Amino acid sequence: MQISTLLAQTDSSNSGMFFIIVVAVVLFVGLFVTIFLASRYRRCPSNRILVIWGTGSSSSSQCYHGGGKFVWPVIQDFAYMSLEPLVIEIPLQGALSLNNIRVNVPSTFTVGISKSPVLMSNAAERLLGLNQHAIQDQAQDIILGQLRLVIATLSIEEINKDREKFMNLVNENVAEEINKIGLTLINVNIRDITDESGYIEAIGKRAAAEAINRAKVEVAQQEREGAVGEAAAVRERNVRVAEEKSLAEQGQKNAEQAQRVAVAELEAQAIVGEVESKRNQEIAAAERLAETIAAKKRAEQEQRVQVASAEASAVDGENTSSAKVAQSNAELAEIRAEASRRADVASAEARQKIFTAQREEELAKLAKEELAPQEIEKKRVEIEAEASAERERREARGHADAVLAKYEAEAKGVQQVLEAKAEGYRQLMESCAQNPRVAPTLLMIEQLPQLVEMQVQAIQNLKIDKITVWDSGSGSSDGKGNATANFLSGMIGSLPQVHELAKQAGIELPSALGHVVEAEEASPSVDANS
């Protein structure tokens, strides 16, 4: 029993150890697999693109931006492409524009790998594994070509004036081409546009001159309007001042006249009062005297005499008073006439001053409205004439330079052709030194195409469908053979003259036409033939 118990305990302990070992092995294998799988899971940062290629992909490669992807061992592999922008300097020099003027367009292009699925696939196929320098070289070559192509479709005026159109064409053409290798255009910076001939600078100077001329005209117009306004204000001020002065003088004269009239009236009233007072006094004295005489009981005659004397004295006093009143009235009329005359003179002088001021004002207005615009127009015409003359001189100078360059090029080309012909003739003479007659023959053969061309031109307008020669084979009317025989005999008979003409011209005819021999050589040959 004890042995069986010990055996049972031993079996249970062995089974426990085996279970622990199995669990440990399973945990180790699971941990190893987990670490291995974790090491094959690749995460993609935001500034990179994960490219996975190998067996199991539907295309040549798979591109991912952001997140992560499991990469199978052995059958798949991976790499990263950077999304950092690349700054490419384009030192474009001497690009030919549409009007055949070479321009310099130094610029800076900023490009980078695109996140578009199609462009990422293009970049994976063409840029994977290349460093930034190699990518910049490829992009620079493409941008240079497209930039030259865009400049060749535009004139200098379009490039200089319509910068927006130029930039749009550059963006469209460059973006389309660099997209083929997976790059996208981020920014374009055209630093400057210049040309070797100074045409753009001349356009700028012309625009500046036109702007300056327009500004001068506008300034002159504003000055004219200011001068006209100032003259109008001065004229209105002078008129108002003259009017106020005239009114003041008229008021002063009216016051002086009223004062003098009032003084004259007061003086007349005083004189009348004095006369009346004297008359009353004399009357009172006469009455008292009469009362005194009546009181002294003088005689009626004396009384009557005294009364008559008193009445005469009264009449005399009345006459004297009337004379003084008339004299006072006459003096008053004279004073009034003098005052009226002075008032009229003052009014006439005031009107004269007003008329003088108005005359000066009209003259100033005429000078501003008539003479000033004419002076301005004269200056404007002079400026336009000088600008037109300068433009014509520059255009004539440019045309003369172009014509001179054309003629110099033509002269240089003619000189080179003549030098080449002279060298060819010299070599021809050296080659024909052993047989001098060959050189003229070759030169004549050289001119044969032109001679044939001239002969063809002479008969090219003749409409000849076909030529038919009729020969019955019978002899001619004189019995000397048929027409063909006559033609051949005539041609053979003319060969000596043709040879003589060719000899005089220094030309050697083909051997098929025979040779002309001397007379002593000709007789034996005839005998041999006979």
Amino acid at residue number 484: T
Long-range contacts of 392-400 (CB under 8 A, 24+ apart): 394/202
- Binned at pLDDT 50, 70 and 90, residue 530 comes out as very low
- Binned at pLDDT 50, 70 and 90, residue 525 comes out as very low
> CA-CA distance, 343 to 255, in Å (whole number)?
11
By 3-state DSSP, what share of the chain in percent is helix, strand and coil, each rounded to 5? 70, 10, 20
> CA-CA distance, 155 to 203, in Å (whole number)?
13
Task: Tell which residue, 43, 80, 76, has the closest CA to residue 60.
Answer: 76
- pLDDT 10s digits, 326-367: 787 878 778 887 877 887 887 788 788 888 888 887 877 777
- pLDDT value for 10: 61
Token digits for 48? 């990179």
- pLDDT 10s digits, 120-158: 888 888 888 888 888 888 888 999 888 888 888 888 888
What is the DSSP secondary structure assignment for residue 508, as one 8-state letter?
A: P
In whole angstroms, how far apart are CA 47 and each of 116, 122, 312?
A: 14, 18, 148
- pLDDT 10s digits, 197-214: 776 666 766 767 777 877
- pLDDT 10s digits, 243-279: 888 788 887 878 777 787 777 777 778 787 777 778 7
Q: Compute the mean pLDDT over every residue in the chain, rounded to the nearest whole number.
A: 76
Burial 440-473, CB ≥16 within 10 A → b, else e: ebeeeeeeeeeeeeeeeeeeeeeeeeeeeeeeee
What's the whole-number mean pLDDT along residues 449-453? 71
Token digits for 129? 């594994």
- pLDDT value for 109: 92
pTM: 0.36
Q: Is the pLDDT of residue 522 over 60?
A: no
SS (H, E, C) 241-295: HHHHHHHHHHHHHHHHHHHHHHHHHHHHHHHHHHHHHHHHHHHHHHHHHHHHHHH
- pLDDT value for 268: 74
- Binned at pLDDT 50, 70 and 90, residue 527 comes out as very low
Q: Is 94 helix (H, G, I), strand (E, B) or coil?
A: strand
Q: In order of start, what are the domains of the chain with their CATH numbers?
A: 41-78 (no CATH), 84-197 (3.30.479.30), 220-407 (1.10.287), 438-457+479-529 (no CATH)
> CA-CA distance, 267 to 273, in Å (whole number)?
10
- pLDDT 10s digits, 77-120: 778 888 888 899 988 888 888 878 888 888 899 998 888 888 88
Specify the higher pLDDT residue, 280 or 6.
280
Could you tell me if 164 and 188 are in contact, meaning their C-beta atoms sit under 8 angstroms apart?
no
- Beta-bridge partner residues of 106: 91
Q: Is the pLDDT of residue 470 over 60?
A: no
